[in-house]
Each structure stands twice: as C-alpha cells, then as structure tokens.
Amino acid sequence: MHLSFFRNRLWKVLLVLAAFAGLLGLSDDAGRAEAAASHELNYFKYETFTQEGRKWLRLELGIKGGSVEYATSVRELTPKQLHVVLSDTARGKVKSDISLDRKIAKYLTLRENGDNSLDVMVSLNKPVADQMYKIYFAEPERHGKKPYRMVIEIAENKLDREYEAEKPVQQAPDSFENLAGHRIVLDPGHGGSDSGARGHNGLMEKTATLAISKNVADILRGSGAVVTMTRDSDKDVYGPMASDRDELQARVDVGNASAGNEIFVSIHCDAFTSPTAHGTSTFYYQSSHRGRLLAEAIHQAIVDETGLASRGAKTARFYVLRNSAMPATLIETAFISNYQEEALLGDPDFQYKLAVAICRGISQYFKMR
C-alpha cells in the first residue's frame, strides 16, 4: 500500500516536470526562431601566400544570406587582436576556435553576441598597428566550390609607405612661429642595449621614446628650430652595455658640446609594479628656475593636449638634469606598465599628439623668456 502510494506520487511529479520542460523548450525554440540571424557562416578556409616578396595570411568565411555589414576595431587592452564584427550573423557550423599558421596569426575565435552580431577575432603575433590587413567580399566560385564569402588578408608586416599613409595629414603645425632659430637638444630615453621599461604587451620604452622624439624633432625643425638629438636610431650613445653613469654622461656631453644650445629635453616612459599607476609627469632640477618653467610649460601642454592624468611637475636629481649646462627637463610621458597607456604609447597617432604637446610647451617656454 505504501509503495503504490509513493509510485503514484512519483509519476505525478515526473509528469509535471516533463510538461514544464516542454513548455520551456517550446518557449525557447520560439525565441530562437524570432531572433534568428539573417546570415550564417557556412564555410571556412585559410591559406598563406607570398605577394611582392611579402607573406600574407588569407582567411575566408563563407556567408549564407548575401552581403553583410561589418565593423573593425582594435581594443586598447588587446592591441594584437583584430575584431571584425558581422551584424545579423550566426556562427553556423563553423568551429568557434580555430588554430592558424602561427607565423602571422595564432588563432581565430568566433563569438556570437546577444544582439545577433558575430565577433570574428584574429589573434596576431604583432600589434595590429604593425601589420597591414584588408577585408573584402568575394563572389561564389562554382569550380572551386566556394560560396559567397568575406576575405580577410593580413600581411606579416607593414611597409614604410603604409605607415606614412596613416600619419595625420597635418604634420607640422604652423603656430609655433617663435621657435625659429632656437637651439634645442632632444634626448630619447634608453636605446640600443638598454631597452628601458617594457610593457605587458611587449612595447619597449626605447622604441616609444624614439618615435615620439623623432616627431618632436620634425615639428621643431619645421618651425625653424635647430635640433640636436642624442640618438636618432636604436643605439647606445656611449656604447653597448656601458655603465649608467657613462651612458648618461654621454648624453649630457651631446647637449653641452655647443654653448649655443638653449634647452635639454629628455623623453621617457614611466613604469611601476602595479599596472594601475597612470598619468604624466615632468621633472626639473631644484636649483634651476628656467628648468622649472620649462617643465611646467611642457607638463601643462601634455595634460591639455592628450587628456592624460596630471602627476605634476616635480623636482628630481636625475643625472641629466643635474649635469646639463642649460635648463633641462625629463618627461615621463605615460606609464608603459599600464595596459591602456602602453597601447597609447605604441599608437603612431598618439605619439604624434604627444610630440605636438611637447612642442607647444617648448614654444610657451620661449614666449615666457
């Protein structure tokens, strides 16, 4: 009697659960039907090829449903990932994670978003900014059994002319008229055997400081200034593996070699153990009134021009500040140890923006004299 009672109760519970699950299934299916994407991937293939001496990777994504809108992006925290987001598109039966050749790109990831868009993420070996890529659509090929498809082609590197084409159109602001004839020494921090600080994604301080300094030199020279650089390539100033004192003295010697040189500007990237540290700062030697004016003018211009957080213009006993025979400042542009600021420091557009700010500060300094 008791066993029969429990069996009946169990069957009732199971029937209720089955009915409830069925309702859920019907509701879910209906939701999926209503939200079904208009396009769907139905094919994937990749290959490598060589064109004009440069290696390329070609990714082909077959798309059912015809032409599809898309947008590309590179996110600040992941500069080596190219995102191509296809609107109103489902992944279909194409795998979500695909290993690639690993020479140009490591893998392809497909992720469906809640808004029916599909994020096609290509993880590259280098920052996207250093690799040329193009995206286009190809018509079906009956003989090759290829459907209508999106093609993403990525080169192993970017040519100099391709970098040049991406630079801002306005390369030398003509507002710095008061710089003509002034003699300025630029000191790109580190170089050669000394990489300086290194960001989490591999950007080296010596690379960023040289790029920024070259932009500064171009703008200053375009404004009529006479510019001396302690280094204009990836090299040591004193020599490979020199002591810190010898290397720093060699930089000071470049500036002090001519009595006509008026200011010494050393350009660096900051770093700290915590990736949350951020912002920009400038330094001057405590007993140098002119050095303080120079540091404050450049600092304010950087904050105004770039939007970086201000850490202030402060005194310091850095070797190049103490031993330069002219007003000197050392600029810590931003934190290379901060993920977001590392991405900015590696961005040619931001490097140029920093350079304009530094030149604006230098211009302001000479106006105050």
CA-based R_g, the chain, Å: 29
Q: Which among 243, 289, 260, 267 has a CA at the least distance from the CA of 354?
A: 267
DSSP 29-85: HHHHHHT--SEEEEEEEEEEEEETTEEEEEEEEEEETS---EEEEEETTEEEEEEEE
Token readout for 292 is 């303080």
For tokens 């140098």, the residue is 288
Report the alpha-carbon distance of residue 348 to residue 226 in Å, rounded.
Answer: 24
Q: Which among 231, 227, 228 has a CA at the least distance from the CA of 206?
A: 231
Report the alpha-carbon distance of residue 169 to residue 323 in Å, rounded.
Answer: 39
State the catalytic residue, choosing from 40, 156, 332, 342. Answer: 332
The number of helices, as runs of H, and strands, as runs of E, in the chain is 8, 16
Report the alpha-carbon distance of residue 357 to residue 362 in Å, rounded.
Answer: 9
Q: Is 332 a catalytic residue?
A: yes
- Residues labelled as active-site residues: 332
